[in-house]
Amino acid sequence: MFRLDNKVAIVTGAGRGLGAATARMLARQGAHVAAADINFDEVEKVVAEIGNGSKAYAADVSNVTEINSLVEGVVRDFGHIDILVNNAGICPRLPFMESTEADWEKITRINAKSQYFLMQAVCPIMKKQGGRTHRKRVIHRGAHRWFRQRQHLQRNQGRHHHVQQVRRTRGSCRWHLS
Ligand SMILES: NC(=O)c1ccc[n+]([C@@H]2O[C@H](COP(=O)([O-])OP(=O)(O)OC[C@H]3O[C@@H](n4cnc5c(N)ncnc54)[C@H](O)[C@@H]3O)[C@@H](O)[C@H]2O)c1
């Protein structure tokens, strides 16, 4: 089984669901988890449970100022960042014809913009740390099932496209790190 002793992992949306499960798994493998969520009370409970020197952060990852504060806080507290899990996201079940511009913008801000700017904030820190590129990780969690749901098809195609764009950006991040 792989070990992540003394690695520092940011997990967004770690207050519940898949983010909380990812934070637990990373801590079990030895990582210190910087668990971030818009809901601080929930993420604090997760951190109290997983221990291992992990820490809870309040951050709305759809806001670039809060992203930068989060990343600065993690560097101040831990000194380095080895793993970024871009997990925070929303998946509202809105019928396509009833969705509004505000819905689209909110989904895009939380699900796509957050991933893009988190990578932009973390990438220079990983590069400065040096070491081998394959030992640094950026992981994106997207909602592919959304994409397949016919009722939501067009809006989901939009989101899927955004997530794909972010993944291409991850390629740029890898290039920047090497
Ligand atoms: N659950 C699934 O079946 C499934 C399948 C595929 C992909 N996904 C994706 O995985 C991710 C997690 O899914 P989940 O089911 O655990 O979701 P969830 O709704 O249970 O948890 C999402 C977490 O993100 C947090 N969050 C929401 N907006 C935020 C913001 N602006 N800033 C910071 N934190 C924020 C919430 O407070 C919550 O703790 C999402 O991106 C989702 O689209 C989920």
**Mean pLDDT across the stretch 158-178?**
55
> Where is pLDDT greater, at 160 or 70?
70
131 belongs to a structural domain: yes
Tell me: the pLDDT tens digits for 27-52? 999 999 999 999 999 999 999 999 99
Q: Ligand 1 mean position to 136 CA, how many Å?
A: 23
Grade residue 71 by pLDDT with cuts at 50, 70 and 90: very high
Cα–chain-centroid distance for residue 105? 18
Mean pLDDT of the chain: 84
39 vs 80: CA distance, rounded Å: 24
Among 37, 144, 162, residue to substitute to test ligand 1 (most atoms within 8 Å of Cβ) = 37
User: 42-51, 96-105, 119-128, 129-138: which range is least confident on average?
Assistant: 129-138
Q: What is the pLDDT of residue 157?
A: 43
> Which range marks the domain in which residue 101 is found?
8-177
For residue 15, pLDDT over 90 is answered with: yes
Q: Ligand 1 mean position to 130 CA, how many Å?
A: 31
Q: Which long-range contacts (CB under 8 A, 24 or more apart) does 129-134 make?
A: 129/80, 129/81, 129/82, 133/174, 133/177, 133/178
13 vs 33: CA distance, rounded Å: 12
Q: What is the pLDDT of residue 130?
A: 78
For residue 153, pLDDT over 60 is answered with: no
Among 90, 109, 113, 116, residue to substitute to test ligand 1 (most atoms within 8 Å of Cβ) = 90
For residue 144, pLDDT over 70 is answered with: no
**Residue 91 is part of a domain; what is its CATH number?**
3.40.50.720
1 belongs to a structural domain: no
**Mean pLDDT across the stretch 147-158?**
39
The count of domains in the chain is 1
Q: What is the pLDDT of residue 10?
A: 97
18 belongs to a structural domain: yes
Which residues fall within 8 angstroms of residue 170, CB to CB, at 6 or more apart? 119, 138, 140
82 belongs to a structural domain: yes
Q: What is the pLDDT of residue 155?
A: 42
21 belongs to a structural domain: yes
112 belongs to a structural domain: yes
2 belongs to a structural domain: no
